[in-house]
Amino acid sequence: MSTTDEGSEPRASTSVDAAWLERELAAAGGTAVQAEFLLNPMAICKMVYRDGQPVDWLHLYVNPVWQRQSRAGPYPGKLASELFPGIQQRDPEVLQIFARVAAGGAPERFTRFLHSIGDWFDVQAYSPARGYLVAVFDVVSERIERERRVKEMEQRLSLAQSISRSGIWDWDIPTGELAWTPEMIRLLGLDPASTTPSFDTWRSRLHPQDIEVAEERINTAVHERTPLFNEYRVVWPDGQVRWLRAYGNTLYDDAGAPQRMLGLCVDVTDIKHLSQQAADAQAASLAKSTFLATMSHELRTPLNSIIGFATLLLERVPGEINDEQARQLAIVRRSGQQLLGLISEILDIARVESGRMTLELAPVRLRPLLCEQYEAARPLTAERGVVLHAPECDDALHVRADARRLSQVVCNLLGNAAKFTDEGSIRVTARAHDASVFIDVEDSGIGIAPEELQRIFIPFRRSDDPRSAARIGTGLGLSISRSLMLAMGGELTVDSQLGRGSTFRVTLPAVAEPAAPAD
Ligand code: ADP
């Protein structure tokens, strides 16, 4: 390549004439001598122009550091485009800056990634004489990479803080200086752009009732060398009250004097509200359960006497009654018994909900229990074209349960199976499975729609299916049964197909060795 350097004759860039070089260096101000000892890479160059436009620069001198680092030499007499192919196309702004400086402009400094070299450079350029240029480089890739990583980490930290609504604070104890991340400032309802972190600012945002305790906890943590755990309210400028939770740790010097406390603040307003709501709901539920339990108990006594006296009258103990009187008394007794059943269920649900249901867990021999419930359920299917099969259960099967309550659950499931089955059959099977026992009550009845399958376990919820709604019920049986099973360490689940039938499954822990029957 042949170039024209302004004011002199064209030269081949590859051949270097020592006299010419000496002349040029002298023209450039003789900087090369000092540059020998410079620790930074440095080059003395002469701008090359074509038709009056800067097109390249010619190296007159390169100090030893740059020769070593760039691995591109030998330099003298070489064009930048020869040493670093593509530099004018890939990093065009370098030529522009160098041309500006060499043309007699002010010194310039820039930090850039030079694609043609593949490194980050910090470059200072000045012109010792018009058309000449001295460039001092610093390869700063490591620094830039470090800065990039720090920035990335800061971004991640900031993101983590804003997502988790938390902020970081750093308190220099001897000077009292406080540093806050922007998120910390936002937690106080303030604007990071116009807030200077200080204890006074923090104190001024604290709810007046919480200032004393919050400060006291900080002092205690510092002096007793314990981790800080603080919870206080802050009042935002717009009047909002937010709950903050602070965690901190104190650092001490070798003499044991506190130096610094570093900590994290989290906005826990939502959690506070939720736990308050949960506590309120729990208190309300407990009050309701207590009320129901008391009411149910009070209702049972007069109801028992209604049923008892109706029975006495029906048995003609006080004297003779006619058939119509007997029929009506039978209705009184039946209705009383239904009401008593309902009250017992309400009492049960109230006990379960208030945690006052006591269970007597013991090994229970399953077969007699199932047979007993089968016998009790037989009248429900008799004369209705529904076959209730005798239970299939191995004689040796034992479960850990409260026998009375398990009977109640099986009774409820059989009662439902009978109630919701118009034809076909009902089967009860029990079998061991790993460490559990499954008791399945399977019917070929009306079945349950998929969207109803979980709802039917909610108290007072009955299926929307009109075929189900037409049958008497309270919607309490399954809820009580499931609660009882859970309290016994078991489960009650259902599998059903609308119009095909349902299988309710009781799962209970198996008991390995046969024990005395608890029934
Ligand atoms: P109840 O039977 O008094 O309504 P349950 O809690 O025992 O209350 O049952 C809740 C609802 O679940 C029933 O109303 C019914 O819609 C549905 N259900 C329970 N057992 C069956 C079954 N075997 N077949 C079809 N639906 C059932």
Our answer on whether the CB atom of 134 is closer than 6 Å to any ligand 1 atom is no
Give the start-end residues of each E strand in 104-257.
108-114, 119-126, 132-139, 166-172, 177-180, 228-235, 241-252
Nearest to residue 73, comparing CAs of 84, 88, 86?
84
DSSP-assigned beta bridge partners for residue 501: 497
Ligand 1 centroid from CA 340, angstroms: 19
Average pLDDT across the chain, whole number: 88
The pLDDT score that the predictor gives to residue 342 is 81
345, 452, 462, 494, best to mutate for ligand 1 pocket (most atoms within 8 Å of CB): 462
More confident call, 236 vs 17:
236
Ligand 1 centroid from CA 435, angstroms: 29
The answer to whether residue 246 scores a pLDDT higher than 50 is: yes
Our answer on whether the CB atom of 476 is closer than 6 Å to any ligand 1 atom is yes
- Each residue's pLDDT tens digit, 142-183: 888 899 999 999 999 888 888 888 999 999 999 999 999 999
**pLDDT band (50, 70, 90) for residue 228:** very high
Our answer on whether the CB atom of 415 is closer than 6 Å to any ligand 1 atom is no
- Each residue's pLDDT tens digit, 185-225: 999 999 999 999 999 999 999 999 999 999 999 999 999 99
Give the start-end residues of each E strand in 383-479.
386-388, 392-393, 398-401, 424-433, 436-443
Ligand 1 centroid from CA 381, angstroms: 16
Our answer on whether the CB atom of 475 is closer than 6 Å to any ligand 1 atom is yes
Our answer on whether the CB atom of 483 is closer than 6 Å to any ligand 1 atom is no
CA gap 222, 264 in Å, rounded: 16
| Amino acid present at 317 | V
H-helix or E-strand spanning residue 479:
helix 477-487
Does the predicted TM-score (pTM) go above 0.75?
no
Our answer on whether the CB atom of 503 is closer than 6 Å to any ligand 1 atom is no
The answer to whether residue 497 scores a pLDDT higher than 80 is: yes
The pLDDT score that the predictor gives to residue 389 is 96
Neighbours of 106 (CB within 10 A): 8
The pLDDT score that the predictor gives to residue 69 is 76
The pLDDT score that the predictor gives to residue 33 is 61
Report the percent of the chain where pLDDT is more than 90: 59
Q: How far is CA 331 from the centre of its chain?
A: 59
The answer to whether residue 508 scores a pLDDT higher than 80 is: yes
- Each residue's pLDDT tens digit, 101-137: 999 889 999 998 988 778 888 999 999 889 999 999 8
Q: List the residue whose alpha carbon is closest to atom 2 of ligand 1.
A: 473
Nearest to residue 486, comparing CAs of 361, 371, 391, 392?
361
Our answer on whether the CB atom of 477 is closer than 6 Å to any ligand 1 atom is yes
The answer to whether residue 516 scores a pLDDT higher than 70 is: no
More confident call, 413 vs 301:
413
Our answer on whether the CB atom of 474 is closer than 6 Å to any ligand 1 atom is yes
The answer to whether residue 519 scores a pLDDT higher than 60 is: no
Ligand 1 centroid from CA 456, angstroms: 7
Ligand 1 centroid from CA 475, angstroms: 7
CA distances from 156 to 19, 149, 209, 244, 247 (A): 59, 10, 35, 22, 20
Are 109 and 76 a contacting pair, CB within 8 Å?
Answer: no
More confident call, 260 vs 17:
260
The answer to whether residue 314 scores a pLDDT higher than 90 is: yes
Ligand 1 centroid from CA 461, angstroms: 9
Ligand 1 centroid from CA 416, angstroms: 6
What is the mean pLDDT of the segment spanning 464-490?
Answer: 86
What is the mean pLDDT of the segment spanning 76-104?
Answer: 91
Give the start-end residues of each E strand in 39-107.
42-50, 53-62
